[in-house]
Structure 1
Amino acid sequence: MTSSAPGVDLHGRSPWSVLPPLCLGFFMIMVDTTIVNIAVPTLQDVFDADLVTVGWVNSAYLLTFAVLLLVTGRLGDRFGPRPVFVAGLVVFTAASLACGLAGSVEVLIAARAVQGVGGALMTPQTMAMITRVFPPQKRGAALGVWGSVAGVATITGPVLGGVIVETIGWEWIFYVNIPVGVVALWLSLTRLPALPTHARTFDVPGVVLSVVGLSLLVFGLQEGPSYGWGTIVGPVTVPLVVGAGALVSAAFLLWQRHRGDDALLPLRLFAHRNFSLANVAGAAVSFAMTGIFFPFTLYLQQVLGLSPLHAALVGLPGSLISGVVAPFAGRLSDRVAGKWVVATGFSVLAVSIGILATQVQPDVEVWRLVVPMLGFGVGTGLVFSPLGNLATTGLDQRTAGAGAGAFNTNRQVGGVIGSAVVVALLTSRLAVTMPAAARDAAAGLPAELRTPFVDGFRQAAAAGLGSAGGGFDLPAGVPAEVAEQLRAAAQSAAGAGFAAAAGQTLGFTVLVLLLGAACAFAMRGGRPQHAAPAPDRDVSAAVG
């Protein structure tokens, strides 16, 4: 039986006994980052809302999740990982119930924001507890399991969401968390140890600066298309909001430098080359995962006409492969340099999504989409498992906990920014591709109808994603034969325009994945080094 790290009393149990509740809770958190995407068209119909508004159902969750991770890491340091994790489980499960009961899109967005708070309370405690409970020589394998949960859950979200939406209703993508949360709560109370705590002061100015800066950035990027990248209200414009977010974020970094080791984000951690590069790579893969699923699931349903269930099944083989590859990748990173595992994963992801982007066409056979998604599953399994280990390997035990908190924060920030940028990019590309596709489709129409046809699509695309597929209203008094010709042309233009925009957006995520691959290749090589563990009090002082 594997022994635990020095200073940790598990009452004779293996440290592996702490993983079930941690992984169950973490699985729920990560599934909920992608499970909503497959239900977006359904939520638009149910709440009669445009796509940018429904996009905030996901962005609100990602935003509150990301901006609170540093703070909740400090809460775990002060009160212990176990009680903070349990509190997060309760908040997350209760918020899931509120999501399912929501009677309006505004209530749903608010409940999702609270759900993000619960996720933020739990996540730093999962990685911190693994770091503190497992001895160094087993930590890579344990973090590999933890990382594989993130990869498998993220790619499983759309599959599970499609099955649920198609069979029992959209509300159950949230209700399903309730029994899982109850089981995870029982396991937490019976298996998680009470670890030593360390009283620290909170960096209140740092909290305010980080929350305000990131909120301004995400709001500007997410809502920019709906305001035409211009005026929001009075003198407030989208560029002004984004610029203010960038300035406040810069002020946050300067303040963190001033605070030193007492900062929410101790900047001296980034003096370690592999740690810095692993953080960039983590942000890149989270950005890309969001960027891939949002346009792809919309394309499957709105262009190919697949049901939510059938759309989800396109990703199922990749999900299964990811689940097989991820545990092996975690163990492999304990035996060889993890940088090569991660670099291979990023390369496979970039190639797979590059191929997928070329196959996104209005009349493509579905199997041509499934094949690159298999490669996507392999790449996801290779990247997520060892990346957490790479982020903390090389840091001494006094900074391992703080490193875990920073890594989780930067990874989630990548997802938040990815969600906002992809919505903005897809919207902006539709404004170009929809009129272009309409011009091509109008070539076969009567001359007097071509200009109104193209103008209708241009106005629909400019009005936002939600109406982009509508395109053209039939004029009164049009003969039945011409009306049928117009309908066929409109359907062709809508499919071609959306497919082109989705393919271009996927192409952009390939560039982000190549950045992640470059970071992995640039890491220092060599076999994993297992330093002697420091006393638990030193680790606990750094957690968060």
Structure 2
Amino acid sequence: MSAGTIRLGTPQGRWLLTAMILGSGMAFLDGSVVGLALPAMNADLDAGAAGVQWIVNAYTLTLAALILVGGSLGDRLGRRKVFVTGVVWFAASSLLCALAPTVEVLITARGLQGIGAALLTPGSLSIISASFAPQDRGPAIGAWSGLAGVTTAIGPLVGGWLVDTTGWRGIFWINLPLAVIVVWIAVRHVPETTGDQGKIDYGGAGLTALSLAALTYGLVEKSWTWGLTGAVLMVVFVIHQRLTPHALVPLSLFTDRVFTAANICTFAIYGALGAALFLLVQQLQYVSGFSPLVAGLATVPLTITMVLFASKAGALGSRVGPRWPMTLGPLIAAAGLLLMLRIGADASFWTDVLPASAVFGAGITILVAPLTTAVLAAAPVTQTGVASGINNAVARTASLLAVAAVPPIAGISGRDFADPAVFDPGFRTGMLICAGMLAIASAFAAALIHGPKVSPAAVQTD
């Protein structure tokens, strides 16, 4: 059966959807599960505060820098080929993570994992869009989104259980059999498709990677020299995008006020989300004394709320426009972070952790779909795919830089960072910083996100 004609209810349709869910699920899970294992990794490898940050940031850095290139390579070389390559790459680097004898090797392997994720993540959704018959694309994407959400919801539970029972290396070993299954299904049941054959902006990709690496290193290591180098390289990247005929990031999109404002909001919101979750799961273990499994439970309300109510929030945003959900959602999420200030040495999971997490999750759920809607509605119909990719890269870059910057600003640094006397006050300062970032996002949305509801064309293209 050829691409573009596969029906969702057929065996090939179900196999294809299974491969895409499992493949993208590996990358989604890795981001959330590793946070739970950081205390165990620190204890085993003597990572220190900077090492712990790099275990997270090495993955996010390569993923953020290369995710746009990954999508372009799939369009040019074949989406199935690049997707399978990404899965194999991800599995091989997961093996290296599992065997890492030192924190330096683990950080290197995590960077390689990010490259694999950048190859496979964009491909999963584009393969679904290109392979299914037009009448089945919407339901297939909905099924992919819902089941990926369920996978993400159980991830912290599985990850916490693995860390508790097998140690932190178990969260990487589990990727190997999953990858074998995904590759087998993809080779047998997923047709090859291609898209735009235009040139790929490798220069832009290289400048992105170098600038983000320098900025991140400067923030983590408190080096003005590296930070300034990263900023200069970012300026060079912008100039390069203006001059090259095959820009990785078409700057013309940013002439639209709403598109620019929505991406500023994205940067503030996802920066706060990344830093807050990074600090929360460690606070629960270092200060409150919870196990990795219980710490993982703290993130479940966020995911469950997203799975159950994201579509309803999207429908609301389509009716009333994105401005008010994007204004109120960050304020509600900020209230959840302020409630987390109650989480300390004698915290109760049921009265301190769970209510705060639920409020935070409610705020994020209210804003996410309208935020995506605002980005797509502000872009020309022919560029909604590029606009979505840029917004995704902005979100991941924000998380990368926030995880690098917020802990040292909050006073969490040095070899004794895991001491509750050091981590607890740093956690509280960090939560206040993240709440402030959400308040800034709310202010930008209220001031700049105007205009009509999402255009029908944008919805159909997405």
Q: Give the Cα separation in 2 of the matches to 1:405 and 1:363.
A: 43
The question of 1:512 aligning with 2:437 is answered yes
The residue that corresponds to 1:112 in the other structure is 110
Deviations 1:3-23 (A, max 9, x none): xxxx96224447986654334
Distance 1:147 1:334, change over 3 A: farther
Shift of 1:303: 1.5
**TM-score, with structure 1 as normaliser:** 0.75
| Structure 2 residue aligned with 1:86 | 84
CA distance in 2, matches of 1:164, 1:188: 27
Deviations 1:258-291 (A, max 9, x none): 125x111111122233333332333333212221
Judging changes above 3 Å, is the alpha-carbon distance between structure 1 residues 469 and 257 closer, same or farther for their aligned structure 2 residues?
closer
Q: Show the counterpart of 2:48.
A: 50
Which of 287, 290, 300 is 1:316 aligned to? 300
Q: Return the offset for 1:318.
A: 4.0
Q: Aligned with 2:382: secondary structure?
A: coil
Q: Give me the whole-angstrom Cα distance separating, in 2, the residues matched to 1:418 and 1:181.
A: 30
2:180 matches 1:255: no
Instruction: Quickly say closer, same or farther: Cα 1:49–1:19, change in 2 above 3 A.
Output: same
1:10 to 5, 23, 36: 5
Deviation of 1:516 after TM superposition, in Å, equals: 2.9
Give 1:242's match in structure 2, choosing from 223, 227, 241.
227
Q: Deviations over 1:187-239 (max 9, x none)?
A: 44455453343322232332222221111001111122xxxxxxxxxxxxx11
* Counterparts of 2:362 and 2:431, CA distance in 1: 18
Indicate how the Cα distance of structure 1 residues 142 and 330 shifts in structure 2: closer, same or farther if over 3 A, else same. Answer: farther
Q: 1:215 to 1:353 in 2, by over 3 A?
A: same
Q: Is the 8 A contact 1:345 1:381 kept in 2?
A: yes
SS at structure 1 position matched to 2:171: helix
**Aligned pairs (5 A) from 1:388-407:** 388-407=372-391
Give the TM-score normalised by the residue count of structure 2: 0.87
CA distance in 2, matches of 1:340, 1:138: 32
The superposition leaves residues 57-102 of structure 1 with CA deviations (integer Å, 9 ceiling, x where unpaired) of 1111111111112222221221133322222112112222221122
Q: Give the match for residue 182 of structure 1.
A: 180
Q: Which residue of 2 aligns with 1:369?
A: 353
Query: Which residue of 203, 209, 218 maps to 2:216?
Result: 218
How far apart in 1 are the matches of 2:191 and 2:459? 18
Moved more, 118-127 or 238-247: 118-127
Does residue 288 of structure 1 match 2:272? yes
- Secondary structure at 2:69 match in 1: helix
Matching residue's letter, 1:504 = T
Rounded to whole Å, the distance in 2 between the matches of 1:165 and 1:120 is 26
Q: Are 2:276 and 2:431, in contact at CA under 8 Å, matched by a contact in 1?
A: yes
2:456 aligned with 1:530, yes or no? yes
The AA in structure 2 aligned to 1:10 is T
Q: Look up the match of 1:439.
A: none
Comparing 274-283 with 188-197, greater Cα deviation is found at 188-197
Equivalent residues in 2 for 1:140-289, closer than 5 Å: 157-189=155-187, 192-224=190-222, 238-260=223-245, 262-289=246-273
Residue 309 of structure 1 aligns to which amino acid in structure 2?
A: L
Q: By how many angstroms is 1:353 displaced?
A: 1.0
As a proportion of its length, which structure holds more helix?
A: 2
Q: Output the aligned Cα RMSD.
A: 3.3
- Structure with max Cα Rg: 1
CA distance in structure 2 between the partners assigned to 1:195 and 1:92 by the alignment: 22
Q: Which runs of 5+ in 2 are unaligned?
A: none
Residue in 2 that maps onto 1:306: 290
The 3-state SS of whatever aligns with 1:199 is coil
CA distance in 2, matches of 1:280, 1:23: 30
Aligned pairs for 1:72-83 (under 5 A) are 72-83=70-81
